[in-house]
Structure 1
Amino acid sequence: MNRLAFLPALAALALAGCASVSPEARVRTKLIDAGIRPPVASCMAERMVDRLSLVQLRRLQSLGGLGNRDVREMSVDELVRRLRALQDPEIVSVVLKAGIGCSIAS
């Protein structure tokens, strides 16, 4: 009988997980907040979530100094320098490829 006591709590946790925002939606929102046009942000978020782990996405989220800054005002050199500071070549590659590919496609 004690084993059944945890079922309501487990069900509540499962439902809470369903209501949470997907990683792709979070990435898309952050990109839009950074000044990237919504269609490009959607494209980039899809590619980035498919190619980066959740740990890598969290590291990317911690990218210093981008909080209230519009990325359109940054030079490519500055953006690349900040990405490289994360010391993960895969993040640099995925973000730059997604940004270039999605910008061209939109």
Structure 2
Amino acid sequence: MNRIPLRVALVATFALLLSSCASLSPESRLRNGLVEAGLSPKMAGCMAKRMADRLSIGQLRELQSLASLRKSHKEKMSTSQLLHKVRALEDPEIFAVTSSAALKCAF
């Protein structure tokens, strides 16, 4: 029986993990980013569903920067805190889409 060297197996596993990350939809990435930013999974999922189709890829990338803001905090981020940080991005369309999604998902 042939055994695959450990190094080859590790490289293949790493490549599979990278390819699975690359195949995430913009909605999935946005949802994950909102959760990383500190929103509850339920709120993040609802908002991502409403936001993903209304924002450009460039705008979604701008929102990715917000995920790193929570890494220094242990507590959840409130929706109002998120909106405050989104407004700081100085893109009125991102703010309008995000605040609309937050409002609709809050009820």
Q: State TM-score, norm by structure 2.
A: 0.65
Aligned length: 86
1:98 maps to what in 2?
Answer: 101
1:53 maps to what in 2?
Answer: 56
1:87 maps to what in 2?
Answer: 90
Q: Which runs of 4+ in 1 moved over 6 A?
A: none
Contact 1:63 1:82 in 2 (8 A): yes
Q: Identity over the aligned pairs, expressed in percent? A: 47
Partner SS, residue 71 of structure 1? coil
1:71 maps to what in 2?
Answer: 77
d(CA) in 2 for partners of 1:65 and 1:33?
8
Q: CA deviation at 1:65?
A: 5.9
d(CA) in 2 for partners of 1:20 and 1:59?
20
Q: CA deviation at 1:81?
A: 3.7
Q: Where do 5+ consecutive residues of structure 2 fail to align?
A: 1-18
Q: Where do 5+ consecutive residues of structure 1 fail to align?
A: 1-15
Partner SS, residue 66 of structure 1? helix
Q: 1:25 aligns with which of 22, 28, 31?
A: 28
d(CA) in 1 for partners of 2:36 and 2:56?
22
